[in-house]
Chain A
Amino acid sequence: GQNIDQPTEMTATEGAIVQINCTYQTSGFNGLFWYQQHAGEAPTFLSYNVLDGLEEKGRFSSFLSRSKGYSYLLLKELQMKDSASYLCAVRDYNAGNNRKLIWGLGTSLAVNP
């Protein structure tokens, strides 16, 4: 079956670095996505990994290890506006519909001053 796990809540301090982990189990891995969602708003795309390694985009980086079924999102120089829910999602080409994403429950990050 398909399963995605990520921590429910995390807290960090402004200016610090935080790492949000995501582990997944799929039969036909075809890419992993990270989205950010502020309360009451729709998700916005952050990053995409399909090959092993680190993808860096400004203050945000995402890492993938396909052999371990593991990814993390790294947020540097945290700002108050980074307080949001971070959603890990996996595309599985065996999911019956190879375009849909399998979503984790999200990690609620609180950035404190």
Chain B
Amino acid sequence: GAVVSQHPSRVICKSGTSVKIECRSLDFQATTMFWYRQFPKQSLMLMATSNEGSKATYEQGVEKDKFLINHASLTLSTLTVTSAHPEDSSFYICSADDTESGVYEQYFGPGTRLTVT
């Protein structure tokens, strides 16, 4: 159980365009999902916490108008990178709490590698 999927796994886009990444919890309901970014050989950087039915909570330094997060249902959260630039190229990973486990461990999606040309 506790499987999280992400789509797409890889995407290449041109500078100035927008890209949407989907994160789904397949076999459990996730009231909270997390969006991370990871640059090569660096640790995870939490971008925002996505709450079902309410606004996302962004970490300091993350532009909420550039990284749009929507958590419309208990199984789906989306991250849209707007007006992408080459410096936005990174590995984007989502995760979700499995609250029924009692541990609130985070299960991660497989990640989306974004390349902006």
The A interface is mostly helix, strand or loop, or mixed, namely: loop
Q: Please pick, from A42, A44, A45, A104, the residue contacting B43 in the complex, using a CB distance under 8 A.
A: A104
Question: A31-B103, A42-B109 in contact; A99/B97 too (CB < 8 A)?
Answer: yes
Asked if B103 contacts A44 (CB within 8 A), the reply is no
Q: Which B residues are CB-close (under 8 A) to A97?
A: 49, 57
Asked if A100 contacts B105 (CB within 8 A), the reply is no
The B interface is mostly helix, strand or loop, or mixed, namely: strand
Asked if A99 contacts B104 (CB within 8 A), the reply is yes
Q: Which B residues are CB-close (under 8 A) to A44?
A: 108
Give Cα A91–Cα B95 distance, bound, in whole angstroms.
Answer: 15
Question: A99-B49, A100-B34 in contact; A91/B104 too (CB < 8 A)?
Answer: yes
Asked if B43 contacts A103 (CB within 8 A), the reply is yes
Asked if A42 contacts B49 (CB within 8 A), the reply is no
Asked if A103 contacts B57 (CB within 8 A), the reply is no
Asked if A42 contacts B106 (CB within 8 A), the reply is no
Q: Which A residues are CB-close (under 8 A) to B116?
A: none
- In the complex, the chain A residue whose C-beta lies closest to that of B32 is A99
Interface residues in A, total, Cβ within 8 A: 20
Task: Confirm or deny: A78 has a beta carbon within 8 angstroms of a beta carbon on chain B.
Answer: no
Q: Contact mask B79-105 → A, CB, 8 Å, 1/0?
A: 000000000000101000100000111
Give Cα A28–Cα B105 distance, bound, in whole angstroms.
Answer: 17
Question: A48-B103, A97-B57, A99-B32 in contact; A41/B43 too (CB < 8 A)?
Answer: no
Q: Which A residues are CB-close (under 8 A) to B105?
A: 33, 45, 48
Asked if B108 contacts A101 (CB within 8 A), the reply is no
Task: Confirm or deny: B44 has a beta carbon within 8 angstroms of a beta carbon on chain A.
Answer: yes
Task: Confirm or deny: A87 has a beta carbon within 8 angstroms of a beta carbon on chain B.
Answer: yes
Asked if B49 contacts A100 (CB within 8 A), the reply is yes
18 contacts between A and B (CB under 8 A): A31-B104, A41-B110, A41-B111, A42-B111, A43-B44, A43-B93, A45-B107, A48-B103, A48-B105, A91-B104, A96-B57, A100-B46, A101-B46, A101-B106, A103-B43, A105-B42, A105-B43, A106-B43
